[in-house]
Amino acid sequence: MMINSLLVGVGGFLGAISRFWISQRMNKPMPRFPYGTFTINLLGAFLLGLASGMRLSEPWILLVGTGFLGAFTTFSTLHWESEQLRKSGKWEKFLWYLGMSYTIGIFLAFVGYWVGQTWY
């Protein structure tokens, strides 16, 4: 049981650091739209689908799926940033951000799952 917690913790640490690093680099040059979070969440959706499709063993799912991707992707930041767009009257960006995040995210999760089942 302790090893499972350690796997989730290590994965979570690496996922959070990765998200922070990517977000900082992608959001600075274009502060009017949260490209970093958008990219991270779409990549995370694909990777989680891939991990599921590959039928990884429980330790790998804990490390990669629960730990790394759980901390890498960020549902709360998605909603906070979309609310900031809405509050500032940027309705088109608000609707685009939410709509594309969910639509493309679900699509990429299915693609990742398919790739995982087909190639692994």
Is 31 a residue whose pLDDT tops 80? no
Q: Are 37 and 23 in contact (CB under 8 A)?
A: yes
Judge whether 89 is annotated as a binding position.
no
pTM score of the predicted model = 0.91
Q: If you write DSSP's letter for every residue of 29-80 in order, what string do you get? A: T-TTS-HHHHHHHHHHHHHHHHHHHTT--HHHIIIIIIIIIHHHS-HHHHHH
Residue 109: count of CB within 10 angstroms of its CB: 20
Average pLDDT, integer, range 100-120? 96
Domain that holds residue 99: 2-119
Number of domains in the chain: 1
pLDDT category of residue 1 using cuts at 50, 70 and 90: confident
Could you report the per-residue pLDDT of 44-102, keeping only the tens digit for each? 999 999 999 999 999 999 999 999 999 999 999 999 999 999 999 999 999 999 999 99
More confident position, 27 or 79: 79
Distances (CA, A) of 113 to 48, 68, 71, 104: 8, 17, 20, 14
Judge whether 73 is annotated as a binding position.
yes
